[in-house]
Amino acid sequence: MAIGSSDASRRDALLLAMPAVFVLIWSTGFVVARYGMPHAPPFTFLCWRYALSILAFLVWVRWAGAAWPQTRAQWLHLAVTGLCMHAGYLGGVWAAVRGGIGAGTVSLIVGLQPVLTALWVAATGQGQRVLAGQWLGLALGLLGLLLVVWRKLGVGEITAFNLGCALLALVAITAGTLYQKRFLQPCDVRTANTVQLMAALAVSLPLAWLETGTVDLHPELLGAMAWSVLVLTLGGSSLLYLLVQRGAATRVSSLMYLVPPCTAVLAWWLFGEQLTPSVLTGLGLTALGVWLVVRAPQSRV
């Protein structure tokens, strides 16, 4: 009995730690993009990342004897989420960073995902109406974003192209989270990720062929690739899949509002990205705004 109780306690502790571990891992994704992008075109890098990740997952699946999805519909739903949460989200983020936007700034833009998720759930009648405090949160989040973005527009960091790529990433990760929670039946996270990555690779390959530029096998590129495959894809994406599968979409997406402050600190430490008073104020307002949006229970989705 004592052994069973100890095992249950360890399992509960792991479940409680999953959100914090996810936030830390996810925050490094923007930093890794900053390291890798000077040395390779974005979709070329991502295609190699997807291919190596698929290989790693196939070895893991084979070793563990994990079950593959049993229905054609499940394969299709996994492919759609892969297009959104890998091809669309990662493609948008990496293209934005390649276009000159800072790691902290793009993470702040994508960090508005909880606001979009909560508003979509409320607007589609899947949850409660949007309360006055939540509208206030939306306004604060947008104001915080504008404080950061407006300053960077003046120095040329943000352009129409890289801002559009970041917004594409925001829409893609939001849509993928909502779609997965609504349509996907529980299945093995390893085979699910493999199917998603296959779909992302199929869509990203033609885009990689259209890219110009060469791949420089710089140590920073090799380190970014290793971290992307072993930590971000095998670890972070698997955690995200499990969190969405276990919890409400709005609850899971609320974790994203912790990512921009973590990324901003990492980008300041590693790249010297400035944490000016306006940036810090913008980060604070956005975090407060997102918290106001997601704090009220809105849906069982």
The predicted structure's pLDDT at residue 250: 52
Which residues, other chains included, contact 62 with Cβ-Cβ below 8 Å and sequence gap of 6+? none
CA distances to 31, 100, 216, 273 from 38, in Å: 12, 10, 9, 16
Give helix 2-36 / helix 238-246 axis angle, nearest 10°. 130
pLDDT of 5 reads: 57
Token pair for 178: 């909502």
Q: Are 252 and 177 in contact (CB under 8 A)?
A: yes
**What does the pLDDT read at residue 77?**
95
Backbone angles phi, psi at 299, to 5 degrees: -165, 160
What is the pLDDT averaged over residues 217-223? 92
Cα-based distances in Å from 189 to 59, 70, 194, 195: 14, 14, 9, 10
pLDDT at residue 20 greater than cutoff 80: no
Own/partner contacts of 255-258, CB < 8 Å, gap of 24 or more, are 255/19, 255/22, 255/23, 255/26, 256/26, 256/110, 256/111, 256/113, 256/114, 256/290, 257/111, 257/114, 257/286, 257/287, 257/290, 257/291, 257/294, 258/23, 258/287
Q: What is the pLDDT of residues 143-196, one digit of tens each?
A: 877 777 666 665 567 888 999 999 999 999 999 988 988 888 888 888 999 999
Name the most confidently modeled range: 198-202, 211-215, 220-224, 263-267. Answer: 198-202
Separation of alpha carbons 295 and 174, rounded Å: 18
**Triad 102, 103, 109: Cα angle to 5°:** 90
Residue 298 has what pLDDT?
A: 46
pLDDT of residue 129: 62
Confidence (pLDDT) at 301: 41
Q: What is the percent of the chain with per-residue pLDDT over 70, rounded to a whole number? A: 81
Top-confidence residue, 205 or 257: 205
pLDDT score of 200 more than 90: yes
Q: Rg of the Cα trace of the chain?
A: 19
236 vs 27: CA distance, rounded Å: 10
Q: How far is CA 119 from CA 21, 135, 175, 299, in A?
A: 26, 9, 12, 11
Comparing 225 with 301, the larger pLDDT belongs to 225
How many CA within 13 A on the CB side of residue 39?
A: 15
Distance CA(42)–CA(197), nearest Å, equals 16
User: Buried b / exposed e across 109-125, counting CB within 10 Å, b at 16+?
Assistant: bbbbbbbbbbbbbbeee
Average pLDDT value for the chain: 81
Q: What per-residue confidence (pLDDT) applies to 213?
A: 83
pLDDT of residue 165: 94
pLDDT value of residue 110 = 85
290/284 Cα distance (integer angstroms):
10
Q: Report pLDDT digits (tens) over 27-86.
A: 888 888 888 888 999 999 999 999 999 999 999 899 989 999 989 999 999 999 999 999
pLDDT, residue 299, reads: 42
pLDDT-derived band at 135 (thresholds 50, 70, 90) equals confident
DSSP-H helix ranges across the chain: 2-36, 42-64, 72-82, 89-98, 103-110, 113-123, 132-153, 160-183, 189-210, 219-227, 238-246, 249-253, 259-271, 277-294
The per-residue pLDDT for 101 is 87
**Cα–chain center distance at 166:** 12
- In this predicted model, what pLDDT tens digit does every residue of 109-134 receive, in sequence order? 887 787 787 777 777 765 556 677 77
* Whether the predicted pLDDT of 2 surpasses 60: no
Mean pLDDT of 246-251: 56
From 48, 113, 89, 81, select the one nearest 189 (Cα to Cα).
Answer: 81
**What is the spatial distance between Cα 9 and Cα 3, in angstroms, rounded to a whole number?**
10
- pLDDT band for 11, please (50, 70, 90 cuts): low
pLDDT digits (tens, 9 = 90+) for 252-295: 555 666 777 778 888 888 887 777 887 788 878 877 877 776 66
Is there a contact between 93 and 110 (Cβ–Cβ < 8 Å)?
yes
Q: Specify the pLDDT at position 34.
A: 85
Instruction: Check residue 186 and report its DSSP letter.
Output: P
